[in-house]
Amino acid sequence: MAKKGGASMLVETILLIGFVVISTIGVYSFMKEKAETDTKKTIEGIASNLECADVKIDSSCDEDNTIINNTGFFAIKNLLIRTSTEEPVILDINMLPKDSIDEISNLRLLLTPNIEYEVAPLVNANNKLYICKGKSIKITKCQ
């Protein structure tokens, strides 16, 4: 029987060590990228929660004119208006605190009678728009 040579054992050991090192580098690179992505998502989520914390809207009526008021402490960049039957509409309004919009001054806010609308504020944080889901209100056209 022939004995295995020392050179082939050395080659096997070097190949095994190379495989382990390359695998370790691959796993490290993947996990580092995943951790950075998860961290960015977490930071963005915290930023949106902080911006939305003091955002508040409400609605009122002036005869048959529906009014939406910004009663919070932050500016609202846009309003998302949607129903269960129509396409959502985004109004670019830039409402400062204590500002309001109504159907007469904003023709894109024309509401249909007897339909319930959901109005959600969108705020600008770090040059990104965030919808404040928990701050949305339900409105109907004033009659």
pLDDT of residue 142 exceeding 90, the answer is: no
DSSP 117: E
| pLDDT digit string, tens, across residues 62-90 | 888 888 999 998 889 999 999 888 888 88
pLDDT of residue 131 exceeding 60, the answer is: yes
Residues linked to residue 41 through DSSP beta bridges, in sequence order: none
pLDDT of residue 2 exceeding 60, the answer is: no
% the chain with pLDDT above 90: 29
Please give the pLDDT value at position 25: 95
Please give the pLDDT value at position 24: 95
Domain locations in the chain? Answer: 1-53, 55-139
pTM over 0.95: no
Chain centroid, CA 110 distance in Å? 27
Binning pLDDT at 50, 70 and 90, where does residue 5 land? low
Residue type, 106: N
d(CA 106, CA 131): 21
d(CA 113, CA 117): 10
pLDDT of residue 135 exceeding 70, the answer is: yes
Mean pLDDT, all residues of the chain: 85
d(CA 142, CA 102): 11
- Which residues, in sequence order, are CB contacts of 55 under 8 Å at separation 6+? 72, 73, 74, 76, 121, 123, 132, 135
Alpha helices in the chain (DSSP H): 6-53
pLDDT of residue 136 exceeding 60, the answer is: yes
Most confidently modeled of 5-14, 18-27, 56-65, 94-103? 18-27
Query: May I ask the CATH class of domain 55-139?
Result: mainly beta
Residues linked to residue 80 through DSSP beta bridges, in sequence order: 90, 120
